A and B are shown apart, each in its own frame.
Chain A
Amino acid sequence: SAVISQKPSRDICQRGTSLTIQCQVDSQVTMMFWYRQQPGQSLTLIATANQGSEATYESGFVIDKFPISRPNLTFSTLTVSNMSPEDSSIYLCSVEDSTGPTNYGYTFGSGTRLTVV
């Protein structure tokens, strides 16, 4: 299965600042996905990042707030901009892992736990 390295693993940030989360995969993948997991809740897809094109954002998420880069087939970043306490969540990157035990399951990074104060 693909191995994903995500960093930072956690951070405490001041409101109004921005944080960039990095996601590195050990193999080339077409699509990378960014999810948010608010405290006590399930995962919500933020956007899908394809190499060489702009990310596709889900309803309720916009590029100005969550800009995404995808410079190559193994790396992506998600920035949480102008943060407020409501942005406190776990942010996870994932890939569709055709080399893993299933063709359609995702492999996830360990997540970034963000606290905005």
Chain B
Amino acid sequence: GESVGLHLPTLSVQEGDNSIINCAYSNSASDYFIWYKQESGKGPQFIIDIRSNMDKRQGQRVTVLLNKTVKHLSLQIAATQPGDSAVYFCAEKRTGGFKTIFGAGTRLFVKA
């Protein structure tokens, strides 16, 4: 089907390599930072989140790093697989019912 993110920044990695996707955020008052994965024809899917009082959190094959000094967030994917090919969005949120703001997104291509 059609894909979203045709004009987004792209990252191309070899299968088995590690991927690092970066994101800059704007609101220093955000309490949570979340990474989403969007495959073609689907809605975004939650991957991992991190609270603003942390600088690192690990999940299954994924690690999120938060640098509040420079307002930078990264998603590291270990041993990237073809199924990881998708558009990845970072998002920031404040607690208390505030809305979630999505970043620009990065399209990840995994070469077999």
Contact = CB atoms under 8 A, between A and B. Distances in A.
B99 interface: yes
Contact of A105 (B4, B42, B49): B49
A101 B104 CA distance: 24
Interface of B: 2, 4-8, 31-32, 34, 36, 41-46, 49, 89, 93, 95, 97, 99-105
A31 B93 CA distance: 15
A106 B4 contact: no
Contacts of B44: 43, 92, 106, 108
A9 to B, nearest CB: 8
Given A42-B103, A42-B104, A102-B49, 12 more contacts: A39-B6, A40-B4, A40-B5, A40-B7, A41-B8, A41-B104, A42-B102, A45-B101, A58-B99, A97-B46, A110-B42, A111-B41
Contacts of A102: 34, 46, 49
A42 B46 contact: no
Residue with the highest number of chain A CB atoms closer than 10 Å, among B44, B45, B93, B101: B44
B105 A42 contact: yes
Nearest to B104: A42
B99 A48 contact: yes
Contacts of A31: 97
Given A37-B4, A39-B6, A48-B99, A108 B43 contact: yes
